């Protein structure tokens, strides 16, 4: 018992989410026309929703693709492997792999293909093992170099990003937050867009400025500046530096931090060249991982060229309804022709897979879509719990109980399936089942469509939908549905079978270990300069990077109290940078604003990072909360 884990979690490959620590998972607030979740889960929800949104992208999909490709190649290698040696135990990895292959051959309608290669069989096996290794290295390298960015964007969404009532474009987060956390207030407001955005900002303000919110952000600031420790601080500081770069061009973007979040997500996760480098056909030279590092480094360096004009172009694009947008996203430092060239490369990688050896020899291998098709990756699972179901003779439907409490009455119209050819076993007695609640395609539907899927064993027995079109929500949810546990297990299987395959060639495992040991240094190098972009000079960057390696900002500021004050300053200023407002929040927390500003200045004097708080005469300047008179304060962190 205890909480020594992520409060919430998102799995990269399956995109399955958990937004509450597992012992506390309670589905009830999500089971109704208007969710009644309350703010307790809000910040974690925003964090995980951001992960889900980022991983539902060209770059995220490319990572899933190579994991699937590695697994398919591993299955073929198993099918071409020797028969298991009955005299050896199955604990031996290679013999376990032989058993795996033997079972596959027995189950496939295409049978044993080993004779097809004659004396070339060992060469083919060696090449397959190298291709698997190349994909595994790519997967691990892509995951490692993108992790700090993923965490940085999620933390920026959690602690900084807001929209204004006058915003013209926004990420999916504000409306998702408003519609799922504002309760009935949002319905009473009649839901004009401005009210939705303001409701979200108000909810985020309450959560961020609470003591829990301040402590949570302070805990990010004292994380190691070390990418092997989760990459939280390197990623968060890098994203804050990028925001600073953009609002340095145009102060309007200080208040439009949610738009900046959407821009950064598209700039990196929507980059087709990076996706193509990840998905490119595997090679025997094991060089694929290097191409990924090069593509990401190039993109990171290019960010320096972005201006507020690029963001404005992007803003006009995403202000259009999703259904009317072109596939090409402007404002990301790429022309349409460059975008088309990258898209062709990506398509070629996917098509190459269709012509690969596994597909030729065993067409029944097909796509290993056990984590669900791409469309399912956009579903955000907000709760997944064991339940019991029992028939309800009065309604003809079923009653769903969680911890012996009835939590959902499902009418007969929501029993599944309703197809003519297949009908599930009728529920005639109480039975154990699993309840998953999901926000259906949350990023494209703004968190408005929700569905509760009840599954007994492998069968979906019922699904209830909510939102503007409950029937559509329901249909989309059950189409190729996978529960959270199924998704995560399937994703783990990708890694398992590829790991097994690698055990057949020890030298490839050694290459993998060497890559793993080099990765932390490579990743630290990638992020360090962006994270400390605003440091005084190169000497300050070097010194701060060394000082912050273990305890982040704690090493610079010297006390937990000073870190908390710095955390609070950034939290308040991103909502409303009016000095008067910041002062009032500081007083409510029992802190002195002047002391916090002075601590930052002293830190700058001593270490050259972070920059001192900037004070502006800001008559009429519009920041997140609206138009401000008097002074505004802009902290870097």
Partner 1 sequence: MNAEKTVEITGLQLIDYLELAEQFPPGTVRRLPAPTQPAGAHGEPTLVTVLLTLTAASAQVLTAWLVSRQTVKTAAATPAATAGTEGITLTISPDRSIILHMGATPSQATETGKEALVSGIQAVTSAILKEAESG
d(CA 161, CA 168): 15
Interacting residues with partner 1 between 14 and 43 (CB under 8 A):
14, 20-21, 24, 40, 43
Query: By C-beta, is 161 or 634 nearer to partner 1?
Result: 161
d(CA 405, CA 424): 25
What mask of x and - would describe binding to partner 1 in positions 432 to 451, judged by CB under 8 A? Answer: --------------------
Least spacing, CB of residue 576 vs partner 1, in Å: 23
Helix (H, G, I), strand (E, B), or coil: what is residue 42? helix
Binding range to partner 1, per CB under 8 A, among 12-20, 322-330, 416-424, 542-550: 12-20
Cβ burial 460-490 (10 Å sphere, 16+ → b, else e): bbbbbbbbeebeebbebbbeebbbbebbbbb
Contacts of residue 288, defined as CB under 8 A and 6 or more positions apart, other chains included, come to 134, 135, 137, 138, 277, 280, 282
Site for partner 1 contains 211 (CB under 8 A): yes
Site for partner 1 contains 305 (CB under 8 A): no
Site for partner 1 contains 212 (CB under 8 A): yes
Site for partner 1 contains 551 (CB under 8 A): yes
Query: By C-beta, is 360 or 560 nearer to partner 1?
Result: 560
- Among 76, 173, 218, 618, contact with partner 1 (rule: CB under 8 A): 218
Binding range to partner 1, per CB under 8 A, among 216-224, 409-417, 539-547, 574-582: 216-224
Q: 449, 499, 446, 494: which is closest to 476 by C-alpha?
A: 449
Label residue 113 exposed, middle or buried (CB < 10 Å: 0-12, 13-18, 19+): middle
Helix (H, G, I), strand (E, B), or coil: what is residue 538? helix
Least spacing, CB of residue 230 vs partner 1, in Å: 6
Site for partner 1 contains 491 (CB under 8 A): yes
Site for partner 1 contains 559 (CB under 8 A): yes
Site for partner 1 contains 247 (CB under 8 A): no
| Contact indicator for 555, 562 with CB cutoff of 8 Å | no
Contacts of residue 593, defined as CB under 8 A and 6 or more positions apart, other chains included, come to 569, 579, 582, 583, 586
Site for partner 1 contains 5 (CB under 8 A): yes
Q: What DSSP element (H or E) covers 223?
A: none
Site for partner 1 contains 495 (CB under 8 A): yes
Least spacing, CB of residue 2 vs partner 1, in Å: 3
Least spacing, CB of residue 119 vs partner 1, in Å: 38
DSSP letter (8 states) at residue 171: -
| Contact indicator for 381, 438 with CB cutoff of 8 Å | yes
Note the residue count of the chain.
Answer: 637
Least spacing, CB of residue 179 vs partner 1, in Å: 22
Query: By C-beta, is 233 or 634 nearer to partner 1?
Result: 233
Biggest distance spanned by C-alpha atoms of the chain: 84
Q: 237, 220, 292, 214: which is closest to 515 by C-alpha?
A: 292
Least spacing, CB of residue 110 vs partner 1, in Å: 31
Backbone dihedral angles phi then psi of residue 408, each to the nearest 5 degrees:
-155, 130
Interacting residues with partner 1 between 113 and 172 (CB under 8 A):
143, 147, 150-151, 154-155, 158
Token pair of 161 as six digits: 């990003």
Least spacing, CB of residue 534 vs partner 1, in Å: 23
Site for partner 1 contains 13 (CB under 8 A): yes
Least spacing, CB of residue 627 vs partner 1, in Å: 33
Using alpha carbons, list the distances in angstroms from residue 221 to 231, 233, 264, 551: 12, 6, 21, 8
Interface size with partner 1, residues (CB under 8 A): 52
Least spacing, CB of residue 493 vs partner 1, in Å: 12
- Among 29, 30, 51, 76, contact with partner 1 (rule: CB under 8 A): 51
Residue 558 backbone class (left: φ over 0; alpha: ψ -120 to 50; beta: rest): left
Number of other residues whose CB lies within 10 A of the CB of residue 393:
7
Site for partner 1 contains 240 (CB under 8 A): no
Site for partner 1 contains 2 (CB under 8 A): yes
Query: By C-beta, is 8 or 467 nearer to partner 1?
Result: 8
| Contact indicator for 84, 98 with CB cutoff of 8 Å | yes
Block residue for tokens 């530096």: 241
Binding range to partner 1, per CB under 8 A, among 359-367, 450-458, 512-520, 561-569: 561-569
Site for partner 1 contains 513 (CB under 8 A): no
Query: By C-beta, is 211 or 423 nearer to partner 1?
Result: 211
Residues that bind partner 1 (CB under 8 A): 1-14, 20-21, 24, 40, 43-44, 47-48, 51, 143, 147, 150-151, 154-155, 158, 211-212, 215-216, 218-220, 222-223, 230, 232, 488, 491-492, 495, 551, 554, 559-561, 563-564
């Amino acid at each position: 018992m205890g909480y020594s884990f992520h409060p919430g979690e998102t799995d990269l490959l399956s995109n399955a989410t958990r937004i509450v620590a597992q012992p506390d998972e309670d589905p009830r607030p999500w089971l109704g026309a208007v969710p009644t979740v309350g703010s307790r889960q809000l910040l974690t929800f925003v964090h995980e929703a951001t992960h889900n949104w980022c991983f539902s992208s060209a770059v995220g999909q490319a990572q899933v693709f190579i994991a699937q490709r590695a697994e398919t190649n591993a299955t073929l290698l198993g099918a071409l492997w020797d028969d298991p040696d009955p005299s050896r135990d199955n604990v031996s990895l290679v013999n376990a792999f032989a058993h795996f292959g033997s079972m596959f051959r027995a189950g496939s309608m295409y049978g044993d293909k080993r004779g097809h290669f004659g004396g070339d069989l060992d060469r083919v096996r060696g090449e397959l093992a190298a291709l698997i290794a190349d994909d595994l290295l790519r997967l691990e390298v892509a995951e490692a170099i993108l992790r700090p960015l993923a965490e940085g964007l999620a933390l920026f969404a959690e602690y900084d990003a807001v929209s204004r009532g006058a915003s013209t474009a926004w990420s999916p987060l504000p409306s998702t937050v408003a519609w799922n956390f504002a309760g009935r207030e949002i319905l009473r407001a009649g839901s004009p867009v401005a009210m939705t955005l303001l409701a979200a900002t108000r909810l985020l303000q309450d959560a961020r400025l609470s003591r829990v919110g301040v402590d949570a952000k302070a805990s990010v600031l004292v994380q190691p500046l070390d990418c092997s420790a989760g990459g939280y601080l390197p990623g968060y500081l890098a994203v804050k530096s990028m925001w600073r770069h953009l609002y340095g061009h145009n102060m309007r973007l200080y208040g439009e931090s949610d738009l900046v979040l959407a821009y950064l997500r598209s700039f990196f996760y929507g980059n087709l060249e990076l996706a193509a480098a990840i998905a490119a056909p595997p090679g025997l030279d094991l060089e694929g991982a290097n191409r990924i590092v090069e593509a990401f480094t190039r993109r990171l360096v290019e960010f320096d060229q972005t201006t507020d004009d690029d963001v404005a172009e992007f803003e006009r694009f995403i202000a259009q309804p999703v259904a009317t947008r072109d596939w090409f996203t402007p404002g990301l430092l790429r022309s349409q022709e460059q975008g088309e060239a990258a898209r062709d490369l990506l398509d070629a990688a996917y098509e190459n897979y269709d012509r690969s050896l596994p597909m030729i020899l065993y067409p029944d291998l097909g796509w290993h879509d056990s984590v669900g098709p791409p469309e399912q990756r956009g579903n955000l699972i907000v709760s997944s719990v064991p339940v019991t179901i029992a028939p309800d003779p009065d309604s003809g439907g079923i009653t769903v109980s969680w911890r012996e409490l009835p939590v959902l009455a499902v009418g007969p119209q929501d029993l599944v399936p309703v197809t003519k050819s297949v009908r599930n076993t009728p529920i005639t007695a109480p039975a154990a089942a699993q309840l998953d609640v999901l926000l259906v395609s949350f990023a494209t539907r703004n968190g408005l469509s929700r569905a509760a899927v009840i599954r007994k064993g492998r069968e979906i027995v019922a699904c209830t939908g909510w939102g503007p079109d409950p029937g559509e929500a329901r249909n989309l949810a059950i189409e190729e549905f996978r529960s959270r546990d199924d998704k995560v297990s399937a994703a783990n299987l990708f890694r398992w079978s590829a790991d097994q395959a690698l055990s057949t060639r020890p030298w490839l495992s050694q290459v993998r270990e060497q890559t793993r040991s080099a990765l932390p240094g490579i990743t630290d190098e990638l992020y360090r300069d962006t994270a400390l972009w605003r440091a005084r000079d190169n000497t300050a960057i070097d010194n701060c990077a060394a000082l912050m390696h273990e305890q982040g900002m704690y090493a610079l500021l010297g006390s937990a109290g000073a870190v908390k004050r710095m955390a609070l300053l950034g939290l308040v200023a991103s909502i409303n940078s009016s000095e008067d407002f910041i002062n009032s929040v500081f007083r409510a927390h029992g802190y002195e604003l002047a002391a916090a500003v002075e601590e930052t200045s002293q830190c700058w004097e001593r270490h050259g990072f972070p920059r001192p708080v900037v004070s502006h005469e800001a008559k009429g300047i519009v920041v997140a909360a609206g138009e401000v008179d008097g002074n505004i304060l802009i902290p870097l962190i």
